[in-house]
Amino acid sequence: MKIFLTGGTGFIGHFVAKEFLEQGHSLKILARNPDKIPSLAKHENVKMIHAGLLDSEAIKKGLDGCDACVHIALGWGETPLEMLAKDTTATVQLLEFAANAGCEKFIYTSSTAALGKIRHNSNEEMVCKPVDLYGATKAAGEAYVLGANSKMKRNIIRPGYTFGQLAFPDGVTQPDRRFFNITQAVKENGVVHLTKNDGTQFIHASQLAMLYSSVLKSDLNEEIFFGLGTEWISWKSIAEQAIKMRPGTKATIEEENKGWGSDPLLFSLEKIEKFFGLKFNGNDFIYDHLRWNFGV
């Protein structure tokens, strides 16, 4: 399959690119910095398109002959109008261009933030009630993808907290630095500052990439899928594991009590198991990820 991919040189995107390539697909990757990951750019089944999310002519040309469009890139802005212009408009434009180019499938990368405040046993059918600008922007993108008058099969993936090392030796790391900050504090015999009862259903980027591949292979349409692990993992347990990995460290953990309850509110992952037989556990990768952050 020929796939037009945005965000392919980003953290999640380069894991998805690796998964697609391993599945035998060829990629056209839209990138503002096409040389960001040299080994990816040089891959025989990759063509880099040096352009941004709003470069209409480059996108139209790149979509020509593609079977699918997978949209992972985020166009960031500091104000609602900037987010509307840089991300929502870019998504709507890409959606229209992909349909006009004859793409059969379109996958939109949203976020659990589109749902808003987590409710008990949150599922994909719940009404979105975003609580911040990022969530509102993602919810808007979802609405356009689902409401498009198009023959393309359009589906949505909502990743949660995604972690991992490098998909390629010269790849990119995750933007959130909490794992790094924990290991640094442990190495320096310092204090690991956490929020009491903070945690989430972590998913490794390679696991998330498997979900993208499964959705791409399917003939589903207008479906939404959470991209998360089934197990809730606390940041405290991760910090405790990091401390155990460094015998002799004098690092300690301090938790700020913000009134968060000890009974976590969970996302339901029944849908990806039902449709694809996928069931992920972030614990399978936590230890190796801490080792990598320790530089081992």
Cα 178 to Cα 287: distance, rounded to the nearest angstrom = 15
Note down pLDDT in tens along the chain; length 296 residues.
999 999 999 999 999 999 999 999 999 999 999 999 999 999 999 999 999 999 999 999 999 999 999 999 999 999 999 999 999 999 999 999 999 999 999 999 999 999 998 888 899 999 999 999 999 999 999 999 999 989 999 999 999 999 999 999 999 999 999 999 999 999 999 999 999 999 999 999 999 999 999 999 999 999 999 999 999 999 999 999 999 999 999 999 999 999 999 999 899 999 999 999 999 999 999 999 999 999 98
Instruction: Give the Cα separation of 187 and 27 in Å (integer).
Output: 41
**What phi, psi does 184 have (nearest 5°)?**
-65, -45
pTM above 0.85, yes or no: yes
Tell me the pLDDT tens digit for each residue of 55-64: 999 999 999 9
Instruction: Look at residue 18 in the predicted model and tell me its pLDDT.
Output: 98
Report H helices in 111-244. Answer: 133-147, 178-187, 205-217, 235-244
The full DSSP string for 75-91 is: ---SSHHHHIIIIIHHH
CA nearest to 199, candidates 158, 157, 231, 163: 231
State residue 149's pLDDT score. Answer: 87
In the chain the domains, ranked by start, together with CATH numbers, are: 2-162+202-227 (3.40.50.720), 165-200+234-260+283-294 (no CATH)
Within 10 angstroms of residue 204's Cβ, the number of other Cβ atoms is 23
